[in-house]
Amino acid sequence: MIGVLYVFHGSQKAEKNQAATAFIKQLETKIDPALYQATAFLENHSDTIPIVAEKMIKNGVTKLIIVPVLLFAAKHALVDIPNELEAVKEQYPDVQFKQTETFGSKSGSRQVLLERFQEIEAAYPDEQLVGILVAHGTKQTDEPQQVLTEIAAEIQQQVGFSIIPTSLKGQEDYLEDIKKQVSTDQKIVIVPFFLFDGHLITIMKNKLNEAFPKTDFILSRTLEFDSRILVDLEGIVKGAITCIQ
């Protein structure tokens, strides 16, 4: 039997983890109901990857697809998830494992991000705007920043102002990037490229207040578990199912 294990980072806010589980429940209905589908978390939840994966295997799963519900292939997808699975693989050597790609570069996320900037552009028709697209970021690999830069350029072509790609913890320093814009006459629009408004967004807001106490930023919503992301995840899962059968 094929099983699909959806993996979230996990939030310190219990309601966000509940929202993540509800989000995946919507996706489960679009996938073959004969498959065993479950959700696990890297942090801040008792449903860890080893616990849930072992439960799935004990219930008959022989081919396990792991789907990182993460924007980019950074440390969590490249290191943490494989590490969490290592003991399970050793214990069940006959089970086939396949980890999929992440979803941040897909069309659903791009559509939502474009919409966030367009909403603000429409709300401030008389303002000179400059956009800051902020992702989590990583120093482990260049790929997330490259994708972020590509998405920013794509959005910039469709709105009437510049979009600067930067990150909280990556190779680009978001505070420095924002500082370069603060002295201009432009209104700074910040769109967080995150699945939901969690702990890191709170930290970002606090740091912005500390670094720029006199600056009034326009801060948009995150992706907020938008349903368009489900389409991307559905495609990823169905592609993996085809490969593993």
The reported pLDDT for the residue numbered 107 is: 97
CA distance 221 to 116: 7
Summarised one tens digit per residue, pLDDT across range 161-218 is 999 999 998 766 899 999 999 977 899 999 999 999 888 899 999 999 999 999 999 9
Q: Helix, strand, coil % (nearest 5) of the chain? A: 45, 20, 35
Would you say 210 and 150 are in contact if contact means Cβ atoms under 8 Å apart? no
The reported pLDDT for the residue numbered 171 is: 65
pLDDT tens sequence for the chain (245 residues): 999 999 999 888 888 899 999 999 999 999 988 899 999 999 878 899 999 999 999 999 999 999 999 999 888 888 999 999 999 999 999 999 999 999 999 999 999 999 999 999 999 999 999 999 999 988 778 888 899 999 999 999 999 899 999 999 876 689 999 999 997 789 999 999 999 988 889 999 999 999 999 999 999 999 999 999 999 999 999 999 999 87
Q: Do domains 2-103+226-244 and 107-219 have the same CATH topology?
A: yes
CA distance 112 to 123: 17
The reported pLDDT for the residue numbered 12 is: 82
Q: Could you identify the residue written with the tokens 């919503």?
A: 221
Handedness of CA 107, 231, 58, 49 (dihedral sign): positive
Q: Domain residues of the chain, as ranges?
A: 2-103+226-244, 107-219
CA distance 186 to 127: 7
Look at the domain 107-219 and name its fold.
Answer: Rossmann fold (3.40.50)
CA distance 41 to 43: 6
Which CATH number, 3.40.50.970, 3.40.50.300, 3.10.20.30, 3.40.50.1400, labels domain 2-103+226-244? 3.40.50.1400
Neighbours of 153 (CB within 10 A): 11
